[in-house]
Structure 1
């Protein structure tokens, strides 16, 4: 079974909203296919560090980074629970599990 790779993506659409912020998403990559999960965290461009893919120069930077990494851990926990049951993990299964909010 292949492992899904996760990474944080800021402003994937290269477009800011009316408040001047953009969405942070989690990209899941498996077998050359990608699925994006929204984190509901919107940031200004100056609050995102492209090199480290983390929130910086923000009053709640530590808390936001913790929330983002906990979301990735949640995705990995769903993936692991599927592995333990012997179910081959696919991106569509992961997406359905997130929608139902349970593995």
Structure 2
């Protein structure tokens, strides 16, 4: 049980408010790479929770987080690896293109 507690403590230190808010986060790997973990379940067509978000165009403020992270990485000349739950082309919503065009 001691091993499990130590893992939980380390994980809690790693957690960011963004993970608690919407299941997405970033992790700086070394001094050259940022891993951007997106919760694409937020855009799953059959996700009934979407209408409950205060801003359905950017559920859990994930797009703004992504934009800010990418701008920061570009300014610092870091590489960004994006990982996600649902692969593009699945049953995701497609009306978020206007966000990408504006960034």
Under a length normalisation based on structure 2, what TM-score does the superposition of the two structures give?
Answer: 0.31
Identify, as 1 or 2, the structure richer in helix.
2
Higher relative contact order (CA 8 A, sep 6+): 2
Q: Which has the larger radius of gyration?
A: 2
Under a length normalisation based on structure 1, what TM-score does the superposition of the two structures give?
Answer: 0.31
Identify, as 1 or 2, the structure richer in strand.
1
